Structure 1
Amino acid sequence: MSRNPVAEALTQHDTLILDGALATELEARGCNLADALWSAKVLMENPELIYQVHYDYFAAGANVAITASYQATPQGFAARGLDEAQALTLIAESVNLAKRARDDYRAASGSEAPLLVAGSVGPYGAYLANGAEYRGDYALPEAEMKDFHRPRVEALLDAGVDLLACETLPSFAEAQALVSLLAEYPESSAWFSFTLRDAHHISDGTPLSKVAALVNAAPQVVAIGINCVALESVTPALQTLQALCAKPLLVYPNSGEQYDATSKTWHSAPSGCTLHDKFPEWQQSGAKLIGGCCRTTPQDIAAIAACCQPQ
C-alpha cells in the first residue's frame, strides 16, 4: 500500500507551502535557460546552483521542494549526447540536491516542520518543448506514454523522493497513463496538477468533473490541483474541484505578471495582484498545498508562509 506523505504532513500543518519557480531563480543567478532542456540543463552544468535555490525556498518557509526534473528525460538528454545511464544519474541527482538542501536547512534551523521532496514529472508536451503542455494536443498510445514516463518515474522513486509531482498536465489521456504507471510502483504516491483551458476544463478540453472522477478512483494520487496558470483562473477552478473531490487540493500559479508570447517577455499585470493577496481566498476554496510557478520567488513564498502557523 502506498504511503501518503501529504496526509501525514497535513496532520502537523493546516496548509503546506510549496516552493516557487526554479527557472526564474536560476536565470536571476546568471543561467541562460534558452534551451529545450530548460532548468534540467543546469543539472549538467551547475548543480550547486539548484541546491542553493532549493535551500533558499526552504529558508523562506516552503514545506515542499520540487526537483529540477520537469524537463529531465532520457529522450531529452539523448539530444545532448548522453546515454540513458547518464540521464538517469542526472535525474537522481535532481533528487539528491533537493534532499541535501532539506537536510542542511533542517540542521541549520532546527526546524521540526514537515519538509518533503516531490519529484517533478513534467508532461510529454514539455519534452516536445513547443508549448504543448498548455494545449495537450498530442496523441500518443497509452503504452508509449507509459514507456516515455517510466524511466524518469523509476529514477525519482529509486533516489528517494517522498512523492511524485505529476505537474502541468494538459491531457486527460496522459493522466490516465500516469495512473496506470503508478500501479507498477504500488508503494509510490503522487499529486496530479493540471493546466487549464478555463475554470471548468483542463487544457485539452476535458471537464474537471471527469478529471476529478479519475483522481478520486486512484488511491495513489494523494492530491489534485492546478499549476502554471494565471492568478485570476485559480479561485473558480478550485471551487469547481472542491465540489468534486475529497482529496486535498493544491495550487501553484504563475506570478501576477503576464507573458507576451510574441516578444517572449513578461510584463506586470494591471491588477498588481500577488500570491499573498489571493492566499486567503484560495484557502477558503479548499487549497491545502499552495505555492508558486513561473516568475515567483523566495520572497513570494516567504510572504505566503508568513500567513501560516502550525496548528
Structure 2
Amino acid sequence: MTDLISENIQQRPGLVVDGAMATELEKLGVNTDNDLWSATALIENPEAILAVHKSFFQAGADVAITNTYQANVKKFMKMGLSKKASQDLIIKAVQIADQARDEYYGTLSEDERKKRAKHPLIAGSVGPYGAYLADGSEYRGDYQLTEKEFMDFHQTRMELLDQAGVDLFAFETQPSFAESKALVNLLKRDFPKQTAWLSFSIKDPETLCDGTPLQDAVKYFNVFDQVAAIGVNCTTLENIDQAVKNIRAVTDKPIVVYPNNGDIYDPVTKTWTKNPQDDDFAELTPKWITSGADLIGGCCRTTPADIKEIASFINK
C-alpha cells in the first residue's frame, strides 16, 4: 500500500484537486437534469468528459476525480443497460481520466513537468448512497441502511474502480457517519492495498449533515492507515477555514477540501441560485493552507478558472 498523497505533498505546499465535472459538461451540451447527473455523459458523450478532465489538468490540477460520483451499475441497469455494459461504463470513466492525464502530461516540457506534482493522481469517486437517491440526501444524511446494505451497495463500484487502476478512492460528499464507517470497513476488508480520502458533507464547520460532530468523526477515522486524507467538500467557501482548523486540531493526516462556489442548489427543481458572496479561491487558498489544508480543489459550480487560482498559489 503506497500513500501517494503523502509522497506528493512532501516537496510542495499542497496538491491541487480538480473542479466541477457537471458544470463543465453542461457547457458542452450534456443534459445533467436527471437521476444520473454527470454520469449521463458516460453514455451520451464520453469525449466531453475527456475534454473536461484535460481542462482541469491544464488549469493546474494534480488530481482528477473520476466521473463516477452518481454512476453505479444498479442505476445504469434501471436505465435499460445490461449488467456488463453498466460495469464497462465505470471502467470507462477511469480510462477517460487516465487518457486525459497521459495526453496532458505528455505535452509538458521537462521544466514544466518539474513544477507539477511528482505523481498526478486519478481518484475514483465513490459518492454516497444519498446521491443514488437523487433527491439531495447527500446534504441531509437522513437515510438509514444497515452496514451490510451500505457495503453491498458500494462494493461493485469500488471493485470496478480498483480493477480499472485508480490511484486511490475518493469517498466524497459523505453526510452519514454510519455510511462512512461502512465504506472504510469495506476498504479494509476487500481492498487492503488501496487507500482513500474521506470527505464529509457538513451542515456547518462543526457538524456532519447527519448531526455527528465533525471532530468525533475525524478522531474515529484517524486510526485507519488506509484513510490517506480527511476533509470536507461541497460546502460553502465560508465554512472551509473553520472546518480545516477543527479537523487539524484532532488529526495529523493530510486534509482535503473542495468547496462549491457558494451557489445554492435546489434538488427538486435541479437549479442553482447565484452566490452573493465575493470571496474567491485566489484570496482563500493561502488562508486554508495556513490553517492546515493539504489538498484543495473545487466542487459544484467551480470552473477551470477557479482551479487555476488555486494552482497559481500552490505551484508558484
Scaled by the length of structure 1, the TM-score of the pair is 0.96
Identity of paired residues, percent?
48
CA distance in 2, matches of 1:156, 1:12: 28
| CA-atom RMSD in angstroms | 1.4
Q: Which moved more, 1:250-259 or 1:227-236?
A: 250-259
1:222 is aligned to 228
Deviations 1:101-133 (CA, angstroms, capped at 9, x unpaired):
000001111324331100000000000101111
- 1:268 offset after TM fit, Å? 3.3
Task: Give me the whole-angstrom Cα distance separating, in 1, the residues matched to 2:151 and 2:45.
Answer: 30
AA matched with 2:279:
C
1:65 is matched with 64
Q: Distance in 2 between matches of 1:209 and 1:301?
A: 28
- Structure 1: 5+ residue runs without aligned partners? none
How far apart in 2 are the matches of 1:52 and 1:270? 30
d(CA) in 1 for partners of 2:70, 2:266: 22
Say if 2:115 is the partner of 1:109: no
SS in 1 for 2:135: coil
Matched, 1:309 2:312: no
Task: State the secondary structure of the residue aligned to 1:302.
Answer: helix
Structure 1 residues 67-108: Cα deviation after superposition (integer angstroms, max 9, x where no partner): 000011111111111232211110010000000000000111
Residues 128 and 120 of structure 1: is their aligned pair in 2 closer, same or farther, counting only changes over 3 Å?
same
Give the C-alpha shift of residue 242 in structure 1.
Answer: 0.8
Residue 208 of structure 1, CA deviation = 1.2
Structure 2 distance, partners of 1:21, 1:275, is: 14
CA distance in 1, matches of 2:150, 2:268: 31
- Measured after TM superposition, the shift of residue 277 of structure 1 is 1.9
Q: Deviations over 1:168-189 (max 9, x none)?
A: 0000000100111001110000
Q: Equivalent of 2:294, from 288, 298, 301? A: 288
State the match for 1:132 in structure 2: 137
Whole-Å Cα distance in 1 between the matches of residues 226 and 215 of structure 2? 19
2:252 to 243, 246, 250: 246
The TM-score with structure 2 as length reference comes to 0.94
In the alignment, which residue of structure 2 is the partner of 1:143? 148
Q: Residues 225 and 249 of structure 1 are in contact (CA less than 8 Å); yes or no, is this contact kept in structure 2?
A: yes
1:173 counterpart residue number: 178
Which digits, 9 at most, give the CA deviation of each residue in 1:258-286, with x for residues without a partner? 34567644343332111222111111110
Q: 1:256–1:272: 8 Å Cα contact kept in structure 2?
A: no
Name which of 185, 200, 203 aligns with 1:197.
203
Deviations 1:145-186 (A, max 9, x none): 101000000100110100000000000000100111001110
Map of 1:152-167 to 2, 5 A cutoff? 152-167=157-172
CA distance in 1, matches of 2:180, 2:104: 34
Distance 1:266 1:137 in 2: 22
The alignment covers a number of residue pairs equal to 309
Q: Which runs of 5 or more residues in structure 2 are unaligned?
A: none
Q: Deviations over 1:18-42 (max 9, x none)?
A: 0000000000111111110011110
Residues 145 and 259 of structure 1, relative CA distance in 2, 3 Å threshold: closer
Secondary structure of the equivalent of 1:161? Answer: coil
